[in-house]
A and B are shown apart, each in its own frame.
Chain A
Amino acid sequence: DAKTTQPPSMDCAEGRAANLPCNHSTISGNEYVYWYRQIHSQGPQYIIHGLKNNETNEMASLIITEDRKSSTLILPHATLRDTAVYYCIVYDFLNAGGTSYGKLTFGQGTILTVHP
């Protein structure tokens, strides 16, 4: 089961910041928070990830609370092309055959609609 809770949908005006919240109250100390998005009829696209510190890249910023129980993905200037389902994922680290790997467990995500 997904370890995260997200609102089912959000709206945002074009050019404004989109702030997408995520609750992950059961996150463990070594688990990362990953964000992906899925535009209609495409495969999911990686956006950003973080452990404790806030992170920023060319697509977005990730703000993680000090207790790590929640985070917010920020798209600073949303465009119509940012309309998508956004998934917040607590990254599962697993071991098999002496090898560590990560498995993505997607929830329902947040449908972000950016309107003109």
Chain B
Amino acid sequence: GAGVSQSPRYKVAKRGQDVALRCDPISGHVSLFWYQQALGQGPEFLTYFQNEAQLDKSGLPSDRFFAERPEGSVSTLKIQRTQQEDSAVYLCASSSGGTGHEQYFGPGTRLTVT
């Protein structure tokens, strides 16, 4: 079946622009995660949704970052007034349950802020 998809795959933004990154999780998966992966580093947790509820946003680095999942399916990560340090790969993952269920990752969106 279809896996997790993300769009766009690549995004170049000028410093100060706003960007929106989309994640389509596996159909029926209630849990959705966003991670940020800087070059040469492992992914770092940003935020977690269960259905439409954002239960954990402890990893969001600043108030310029926010995420939403209004209907409990597709999610959007929005970054306002992008900075060069926001350049990274943004990964989305979904899973069928809360605990003890593996997370399935999308291919990521590579954001480059110039």
Contact = CB atoms under 8 A, between A and B. Distances in A.
Given A101-B31, A108-B42, A43 B98 contact: no
Contacts of A91: 100
Given A43-B106, A104-B45, A97 B53 contact: yes
Interface string A28-39: 000010100000
Interface string B37-61: 0000111110010100101100000
A105 B4 contact: no
Interface in A95-113: 96-97, 99-109
Contacts of A54: none
A41 B33 CA distance: 19
A108 B41 contact: yes
Nearest to B57: A96
Interface residues of B, number: 27
Contact of A107 (B42, B45, B100, B107): B42
> Which has the most chain B C-beta neighbours within 10 Å: A42, A97, A99?
A99
B104 interface: yes
Contacts of B53: 97
Given A43-B107, A45-B105, A96-B55, A101 B98 contact: yes
B91 interface: yes
B66 to A, nearest CB: 17
B31 A42 contact: no
Given A43-B108, A94-B56, A96-B56, A102 B45 contact: no
Contacts of A46: 102-104
B50 A99 contact: yes
Contact of A101 (B55, B104, B105, B106): B55
Interface of A: 2, 32, 34, 41-46, 49, 85, 87, 91, 93-94, 96-97, 99-109
Interface of B: 4, 31, 33, 35, 41-45, 48, 50, 53, 55-56, 91, 93, 98-108
The 8 tightest CB contacts between A and B, nearest first, are A106-B42, A43-B105, A46-B102, A96-B55, A101-B98, A100-B99, A100-B98, A44-B105
